[in-house]
Structure 1
Amino acid sequence: MDVLLEISYFPTPHTAKAITEGIKNAMQKWEIENLVVSITTDNGANVVAAIRDLIPIKRLSCAAHTLQLAISKGLKVVENLVSRTKQLINFFSTQKQIERLIKVQKEIGYEEPLHLIQDISTRWNSLYLALDRLIFLQYAVLQLSVNLSCSLISEEKTDGIRLKKIMIKDNEWELLDELCNILAPFEKATRDFSGNTYVTLSQMFPIITDLTNSLKPPDNSYEVLEDSDDNTINSDIVEEESLQIEVDYSNISEVLKNVKNKIYLGLKHYWAMPDEFGIMAALLDSRYKDLNFITDEETKVKIHSSLQIQYDQLKREMQQQTSTPPSPTISTISTTSTSSTPSMRSLHEHQEKRQQKVKKVFQTKESSTSSSAIADEITTYFLLPVARENKNPLDWWKSKQEIFPVLSIIARKYLGIPATSVASERLFSDAENHITAKRSLLDPALLGKMVFLKRNMKTMDHINIFPPDLDVKNNDYVEDEHELEELLDE
């Protein structure tokens, strides 16, 4: 689940320094300065610079935003067709044309009349959804064009002429259909990345690898990707005057090849350097721990070494907190016989007990591996079979917390990181819904409280999400959402 901690008025200018100070103030208010390990953002230059100043916090690029950047490279190949298709869709944006299209759908046997979908540049996948819906309603659109052109009513005939003028060609319908087949996996990937009720970061690189491999040219022949602005995605990729330019799309296979090639190069470009946090999350996700999506053995060795270092450090810290007098170091324990001091014998017995739990829970078979190696959490973790794809990794670690007391803490650190900044984008949409005509003069602080309560309503029953400086208990809130709205309106 995601929880809203802070939403507040942020005056201009939105400089990197101002953003840095705003984030620091929010973390200090919630007393989480030492708990935040990463922040996921888009590629805006001011935001990137702001997070860079928050050492040691690491910035992660929004996977959905970066994925759309790669897709936009391929769409440039068909930019003229895409723009003319948008023009066709816009024809059906008025209520009059919507009603006509629905009527035709009923006449020719569509089970459930549907509207066409407008492409919105700020919404991921909206172009794919718009094209896919247009393909589905193709016969209704074509039939309506015929009906209007043959009508004896002057207004309808005029609309028919307009519609016929912007109608796409037969081979272009086929090209759009094939284009949707290419974009469909990316639409699913974007949705998978954007979830807020399950782990997303660990599946980012496996999914990107699958997408890249599906587009890889069989002969490894591809051009060099041209540099461009990576901060924004321009959905209106063609100027108005270029709509008049005639582009030949008759060679559909060649056009599709070029589209795939450009998207492939985009994926290779934007994910050329795998992010350590993303790989670590996959390593600690029992579904992807084999790292089969990585071909570079050196990268695998580095990430395993990084995990071992973090594990050893955290284990020492936990031992120092719980042992009095301080327990011997890990290296001393591993080289000392079981007939030494009582504290050492106790630790050995503890490890033996832990090993028996592993065998009981997972039915681990006996092997030639030494008992000291199996007792190590990391070794034990990688000896276990890969989990099923539908297994929730956080649930997996929660059920094995007693077996992996140290490793489970590290796993939660990485698996809780979101792959996208979609949650904050949705937050602003929610805030806009509260600023209605009747609430246009809302005080920013009051608006922040309203959104805070609305967004965290379902979370209050599980955890205390109020700031430390507020003396509020978990049960001190209004349970009924409609009652809350009435109180806020007052």
Structure 2
Amino acid sequence: MSAVWNYFQVSPSDIKLAICNDCKAMVMRGGTKTSSFNTSNLISHLRMNHSERYAAFVQQSNETKQQRQAALKKNTQLTLKESTEKKQKYNKDHPRAKAISQKIMECIALDNQPFSIVQDAGFTKLVEFLEPRFAMPNRKYFSDVCLPELYSVVYSHVEKLIADAVSISFTTDIWSSSVSQVSMLSLTAQWLDKDFVLKKSVLHSQECRGSHTAEAIASAFEGMFETWKICKEKVHVVVRDNARNMAKATSEFGVQSLPCMAHTLQLAVNGGALSQRSIADALAVGRRVVGHFKHSPLACSRFEDIQKELNMPVKKLQQDVPTRWNSTYYMMQSLVEQKRVLSAYAADYELPTTLTATQWGILEKMTTVLEPFEQLTKDISSAEATAADVIPGVVSLTRLLAKMDESDKGVQTAKHALLEAVSKRFNGVQSEPLYAIATMVDARYKDRYFDLDNKEGARNMLLKIVDEMASVGNDQQEKAAGASADDPGQEDQEPPPKRARTGSLQDMYQEILAENDVTKQATTGETASQVYAYLGEPTILKTACPLKYWRSTHARFPALARVARKYLTAPCTSVDSERLFSAISNVIDEKRNRIHCDNAEMLIFIQKNLPLLDKGKN
């Protein structure tokens, strides 16, 4: 605004006029429209009528002009300086450059990208567009500097979480690469925090050199646990495969271990059903049929054309893998599903072999027989599955297999063999404390799935461990503050929807629960009262979360809650290690078959544990 307005003010009755502060004269502002207003008449009025005021006005105008010129000069100089700086690249130690390098390192680890991506033209152009001042370091800088730095940050966070855990369960396995002469030994951990939230972490996927003897594996375990400062008293259980060297290694190391339930089911199905002569012959023919389409693009395209002609969805036949029985189940399922298509194909084109009517019947019935195995495998392979799922799953499965009807004609022998194999493989599972106690403290199961010979023994095991842990943890009693006033055992207790009896695995779970009524027992002692009060309440729905139950019930049953926090950490399979090795196979692949094992382990460690760090920041 001009300094002349220090001596004038706009007329309140007419904005086209200005009033002189000294003589109160009305002076035109230079037009009738706002856009044409100016200060020329006002300045002339001061010059002709108020010389002193005019001199002060001129001085003020000159000062304002000088200030504006100085500010403009300063801004021009700053702009030129900034423009020059924008053309200069960050050095590697600049905070912005280090932050970008860390994000690129995270991208490499999380997305299984090779270090050479930092030299790829497309990636470097993208980064340059986003931040022109960033100078892309070479791949060696990322592998030798950024990777260890990020690993150290994630390691420190995981180390703190592990140190705070009361009891930890582990899974372990050995993997051998198909693209390089490398074997790796895994160690994953899972535990429950004070709020009964399940935490998981990958601790190791280290190179396992030499012969995989029990002594060598036990020595490797010793080094792993020393690295993380985990004492053996803190180890609840190690879940491993059924191999003798693994079982012996955990025994020599001095920790409790359990076999992987999925591996045990694999052995039961292979030994109990798939080894039957008629079934093995039908599967052999099915494999040849599937292999024909897998190796012939022409046959595959003709197969798809027939599917379209029959108005069926376009699907490929699935090939099975010898080490995964459920892949054989999926192969049988896909063959049965595409029976019409295969019949139409065989009428016009040649197949290496065909299934007979009897073999078709065997495949159809075996898919029905193996369906509960497949469902159980899915259930126990979920991220939330625990050792508590073993006894109810086995009991329900054996009851289902024991039910024979007319629809089993042709596969009775296989079904009976499966029943024998399951009973043999899981013999004594109800008397195993690690399984029994975990089942008892799972509010979905409690003592309802034990037979009469083992129910009392399971209760006694629970009472004993509750007493032992109560005597150790009396000085760490959980506080009742924040506990729900309602009985969480009753939440989600709406009766399950009625279903037609289909003879499924889920039907067996419900049937067993219905047969095991709650019995009240007279008790003495605080811990015994807690145990029998807990067992006397109805179970929660199978779809409910047992950890959520204990999160809101720990104040009512504090002694039992300590047992639950320990025993519900144990998984029932070594699936976490299996999934870890799937990730490792994406790191050590054809393009990176010479990557150093230490770098591969750090990459996997970051990939699997970085989400824990991100959650900790939120």
What is the TM-score normalised by the length of structure 1? 0.72
Q: Which amino acid aligns with 1:9?
A: E
Query: Which gives a bigger RCO, structure 1 or 2 (Cα 8 Å, sep 6+)?
Result: 1
Match of residue 42 from structure 1: 241
Map 1:387-402 → 2, pairs under 5 A: 387-402=540-555
Q: CA deviation at 1:432?
A: 0.8
Q: Which has the larger radius of gyration?
A: 2
Give the ranges of 4+ consecutive aligned residues of structure 1 lying more than 6 Å apart after TM superposition: 356-364, 367-372
Aligned-residue sequence identity (percent) comes to 26
Which of 283, 286, 291 is equivalent to 1:82?
Answer: 283
CA contact 1:373–1:379 (8 Å) conserved in 2: no
Q: Which amino acid aligns with 1:44?
A: A
1-structure distance, mates of 2:528, 2:257: 35
Distance 1:189 1:413, change over 3 A: same
Map 1:175-214 → 2, pairs under 5 A: 175-196=362-383, 198-214=384-400
Match of residue 439 from structure 2: 282
Q: Which amino acid aligns with 1:69?
A: L
After superposition, the C-alpha distances for 1:213-249 in whole angstroms (9 at most, x for unaligned) are: 1122669xxxxxxxxxxxxxxxxxxxxxxxxxxxxxx
Q: Which amino acid aligns with 1:379?
A: Y
Distance 1:31 1:252, change over 3 A: same
Q: Does 1:14 align with 2:212?
A: yes
Distance 1:143 1:361, change over 3 A: closer
Distance 1:408 1:304, change over 3 A: same
Distance 1:363 1:74, change over 3 A: closer
Distance 1:287 1:368, change over 3 A: closer
Distance 1:455 1:41, change over 3 A: same
Unaligned runs of 5+ in 1: 149-159, 220-250, 323-349, 464-473, 476-490
Match of residue 97 from structure 1: 299
CA contact 2:463–2:528 (8 Å) conserved in 1: no
Q: CA deviation at 1:371?
A: 10
CA contact 2:387–2:568 (8 Å) conserved in 1: yes
After superposition, the C-alpha distances for 1:343-382 in whole angstroms (9 at most, x for unaligned) are: xxxxxxx9xx99x987776689xx9978976994223312
CA contact 1:280–1:414 (8 Å) conserved in 2: yes
Unaligned runs of 5+ in 2: 1-198, 492-519
1-structure distance, mates of 2:396, 2:528: 35
Which of 168, 173, 177 is equivalent to 2:355?
Answer: 168
Match of residue 446 from structure 1: 599
Match of residue 66 from structure 1: 264
2-structure distance, mates of 1:389, 1:320: 34
What is the TM-score normalised by the length of structure 2? 0.58
- Please, what is the CA RMSD of the aligned residues? 2.9
2-structure distance, mates of 1:406, 1:289: 16
Q: Does 1:421 align with 2:552?
A: no
Q: CA deviation at 1:300?
A: 2.0
Which of 257, 260, 264 is equivalent to 2:412?
Answer: 257
Match of residue 315 from structure 1: 470
After superposition, the C-alpha distances for 1:151-191 in whole angstroms (9 at most, x for unaligned) are: xxxxxxxxx1xx0x511112321221111000111011111
Secondary structure at the residue paired with 2:411? helix
Match of residue 311 from structure 2: 109
CA contact 1:199–1:393 (8 Å) conserved in 2: no
Q: Which amino acid aligns with 2:239?
A: T
CA contact 1:48–1:59 (8 Å) conserved in 2: yes
Q: Does 1:53 align with 2:206?
A: no
More displaced 10-residue stretch of structure 1: 416-425 or 301-310 = 301-310
2-structure distance, mates of 1:176, 1:209: 26
Higher strand residue share: 2
Distance 1:172 1:271, change over 3 A: same
Q: Which amino acid aligns with 1:266?
A: A
Map 1:430-445 → 2, pairs under 5 A: 430-445=583-598
